[in-house]
Amino acid sequence: MAGKVLAAVRVAPGKTEIREFPMPEIREDSALMKMEIAGICGTDVKLYQTPPSNDAPVIMGHENIGYIAKAGREFTRRKGFKEGDLVFVEHYVMCGQCEWCHLGQYRHCKYTDWRFNPDAIRYGYTSAEKPPHLWGGFAQYIYLPWNSVLHHVPKGVTPELAGLVTPMANGVEWSLFDGGVGFNSTVLIQGPGQQGLSQVVICKQAGASLIIVTGTTKDGARMQVAKTLGADHLIDVQKEDSLARIMEVTDGQGIDVVLDCTAGAGTLPVLLGVDALKRKGGIMVIQGEMAEFPNFPLGKITVKYITIKSARGHSYKACELALQQLASHRFPLEKVTTHTFGLRDVDLAIRSVGGKGVPDVIHASLMPWK
Ligand SMILES: [Zn+2]
Ligand SMILES: [Zn+2]
């Protein structure tokens, strides 16, 4: 395949340029994917404004859905994916050798961990200077080495719906696997963004008996979507005494599981979560990206026997379950996939997800061919 590939490249913090890259040579053990949908999430907002690594140019886009356009013979033989297949590619590029990889926990593999490994490969994070350059979904094609991690998109799931697989997989991982949400659980979900809304869907499906979603006054539209997806109570933390409401609707018992999906709202959601949890043995899953936490309530956490877990992406199994969830068509998820943008609108798309562009965006999909 000759020709050029167009990509939106982050060339500096908050700055994107359209650039051309050579079509990569596809050897026996690799493949090329034609991009359909790159989901944009809060991580993109953060990575766009404060890139983790120096000033290397990066093709962002880490939630990638597309068709296999070309696959080497060995790639198909070893991995079971052939030309024409619609696939979801995890952003973690694995080593395939470590214990985490054998467990399907590619997120923890050192090979993909850019925080500790300067040579790590991860879609949406890796420098576009590294051949064959196509390491991000804001492009017409991405390159798939033998150690990329792929999932088949089930029949009946469109590329756009499949674009929700990442937040939905986080929903499975954080609420079910980490939080242990199940039949009759009471759950507090903080933040009604695409992550929080996905938690609502998964908790509802798992049999939670009470789902409370908190948000701020500007979240009005998202809160209504939360209600449509199955939230029992909505709390505006700026207008109401959140803790009093939670205690009222739980008859003073408190909550089994708290899921903090506020991403960067500081220490307040954690403090509310600690107080809202039941008397003993509650679980809190937090993102915890705040640099400092003055007066961390260690005493309360000890006395209430609280377990704190860390929300860190998703496992292979969570992705598979998320795809099954999408295939069930059980929830009106078209209310979540609100906006699509073209390649030249990457900057606007990211700003919109961050609340500073097109209003009322919940989930934005980048369509590189649009
Ligand atoms: Zn993401
Ligand atoms: Zn590994």
Q: Using one digit for the tens of pLDDT, what is the confidence trace for 110-167? A: 999 988 888 899 999 999 999 999 999 999 999 999 999 999 999 999 999 999 999 9
pLDDT given for residue 138 in this prediction: 98
Cα 106 to ligand 2 centre (Å) = 6
- Tokens 């050897």 belong to 27
Cα 33 to ligand 1 centre (Å) = 19
Residue pair 7/19 in contact by the 8 Å Cβ criterion: yes
Cα 121 to ligand 2 centre (Å) = 12
Which-ligand-closest: CA of 165?
Answer: 1
Separation between Cα atoms, residue 347 and residue 284, nearest integer Å: 34
pLDDT < 50: residue spans in the chain: none
Please give the backbone phi and psi of residue 265, each rounded to the nearest 5 degrees, phi first: -85, 10
Which-ligand-closest: CA of 39?
Answer: 1
Which-ligand-closest: CA of 103?
Answer: 2
pTM score, two decimals?
0.96
- Tokens 């809160």 belong to 223
Cα 249 to ligand 1 centre (Å) = 32
Alpha helix stretches (DSSP H) within 177-297: 194-206, 220-229, 242-249, 268-276
Two tokens, residue 51: 């890139």
- Tokens 């090979």 belong to 111
Q: Using one digit for the tens of pLDDT, what is the confidence trace for 212-241? A: 999 999 999 999 999 999 999 999 999 999
Separation between Cα atoms, residue 261 and residue 214, nearest integer Å: 10
- Cα 337 → chain centroid: 14
Residues with CB under 5 A from ligand 2 (ion): 94-95, 98, 101, 109
pLDDT given for residue 1 in this prediction: 57
Alpha-carbon distances of 265 from 191, 216, 237, 262, rounded to whole Å: 9, 11, 12, 6
Separation between Cα atoms, residue 124 and residue 57, nearest integer Å: 11
Half-sphere exposure of 365 (CA within 13 A, CB side): 24
Cα 63 to ligand 1 centre (Å) = 6
Nearest to 69 by CA among 86, 80, 89, 83: 83
pLDDT given for residue 72 in this prediction: 98
Cα 65 to ligand 1 centre (Å) = 13
Which-ligand-closest: CA of 194?
Answer: 1
Nearest to 166 by CA among 250, 63, 70: 63
pLDDT given for residue 288 in this prediction: 77
